[in-house]
Structure 1
Amino acid sequence: MTSTTLTSTRSPTDAQRAVVDAADALFSEHGIGPVSTEDVARRAGLDPSAVVAAYPTQHDLVVAVLQRWHAAWTAALERIAAEAEDPRDEVLAVFDHLERCFAADDWRGCAFINLHAELGRQDPEIAELAREHVRQVEQHLTQVCSRAGLPAHVAQTIVLLVEGARVDSAVQRSPQAARTARLGAAMLMAVYEADHSA
């Protein structure tokens, strides 16, 4: 089990923010392998020594990028929960959020999926962070579905729609995956509601 968590225990410095911003962009564009400390420093507008001081190893930097992605995803779920009046609308709003993400010019796929694909076999800690992220998303959606009167297996299916949309959007370079997944989630909830009412 990893000793690193998805939530950073310290507030990042300005230099750390700049380094993580740069690394996140470069990893999305090129993968981890081709990206050097000098590349990150150049993108961040810092000296390479400042990058190493902020994150001594590539592993530390990858963890920081994943923590940033998890924090952004958690904030989005909290915003959606605050804005939605009905839990079923809350479920569908997750896919609306994904569509906006997928439509962004700099979208190259989910960092958890990309970094797990590249490092997951050789770095158990990165693999575990990716699994924990998915577990937390599933836990959140299970709670939302429970408030909507939907069983846990519906939430598990919706998580698969979320993750499948993230993968497809990276391959197709299109937000269509979010719209299709949203329709699938709406149909699933409607079918269960009809069966339950009957």
Structure 2
Amino acid sequence: MTLLTLTPTVRESPAQRRASTAADTLFTRHGVTPVTLDDVADEAGLTRDELTAAYPSKRELVVAVLQRWHGAWRRALDGIARDADDPRDEVLGVFGYLEQCFADEGWRGCAFINGHAELGRTDPAIAELARAHFADVEAHLTQLCARAGVPSHVAQALSLLVEGARVESAVQRSAQPARVARLGAAMLLSVYEPRTSS
């Protein structure tokens, strides 16, 4: 069995990109189970043969969609890092990015959370991809905490704020959870605010 990773080993072909973009749209809108390969082919403007040449199975499309989501997450973190001079601002920037995601009318929740809920019990590899993404989120926050002089265990709490906001935003169909989580993160960081000597 091929080891699945969050990062694709090769760049998508144009047909693969069309297919994974279409699958992302349909999986987000309907969930994975009801969507057929014919649905994806129609959405992508591909024939069934063109689709299966690009991605032979729906499972491979699910993996491609999760890799797309993880890639978008990592690119967002890179952008936050470029715009922030302080690691604390980077932490808060994560919640700003989430707010932008949640405000999008097409937002239906995190693909990793939704995918794990729908497929995690029956497909251990998909469940492992979700776990790897969550671990990556926490590892990034742990690095930011270390740079900010904040204990590493705070990253675990920040990670829970990220994932909790993702879940609640999908239920509420609101960006408000990101703002509440950002406030919680700011309060956590303030406990470890550097003290200046007078």
Q: Could you state the TM-score of these two structures normalised by the residue count of structure 1?
A: 0.96
Q: Distance in 2 between matches of 1:194 and 1:14?
A: 50
Q: Is the 8 A contact 1:19 1:40 kept in 2?
A: yes
Shift of 1:192: 2.9
CA drift of 1:193 comes to 2.6
When the two chains are superposed, the root-mean-square deviation of aligned CA atoms in Å is 1.5
> Which position in structure 2 is the counterpart of 1:79?
79
Report the Cα offset of residue 57 of structure 1.
1.1
1:39 paired with 2:56, answer no
Instruction: Indicate the residue corresponding to 1:143 in structure 2.
Output: 143
* Alpha carbons 1:22, 1:40 under 8 Å: kept: yes
Question: Any residues of structure 2 matched to 1:40-119 within 5 Å, and which?
Answer: 40-119=40-119
What's the offset of the Cα at 1:83?
1.1
Give per-residue Cα distances to partners, 1:144-183, cap 9 Å, x unaligned. Answer: 1110000111111000000000000100000000000000
Give the equivalent residue in structure 1 for 2:157: 157
User: Hey, what does 1:189 align to over in structure 2?
Assistant: 189
Structure 2 Cα separation of the partners of residues 174 and 183 of structure 1: 16
Where structure 1 has 5 or more consecutive residues not aligned to the other structure, the ranges are none
Does structure 1 residue 129 correspond to structure 2 residue 126? no
Task: State the identity %.
Answer: 64
SS of the residue 2:98 aligns to: helix
User: In 2, are the aligned partners of 1:2 and 1:125 still within 8 Å (CA)?
Assistant: no
On the 8 A contact 1:2/1:128 being kept in 2, the answer is no
TM-score, L = length of structure 2 = 0.96
How far did residue 194 of structure 1 move? 7.5
Q: CA deviation at 1:19?
A: 0.5
Partner deviation per Cα, 1:88-107 (whole Å, 9 max, x = no partner) = 01100000000000000111
Q: Distance in 1 between matches of 2:16 and 2:2?
A: 22
SS at match of 1:193: coil
CA distance in 2, matches of 1:4, 1:37: 21
Q: Deviations over 1:129-156 (max 9, x none)?
A: 0000111111111001110000111111
Give unpaired runs (5+ residues) of structure 2.
Answer: none
In 2, the alpha carbon distance for the partners of 1:31 and 1:155 equals: 30
Distance 1:91 1:16 in 2: 34
Q: How many residues align?
A: 196
**Structure-1 separation of matches of 2:33 and 2:143:** 38
Q: Once the two structures are superposed, what CA deviation does each residue of 1:110-137 show, in whole Å capped at 9, x if it has no partner?
A: 0000011000000000000000011111
What amino acid does structure 2 have at the position aligned with 1:72? A
Write the distance in 2 (CA, Å) between the matches of 1:183 and 1:177: 10
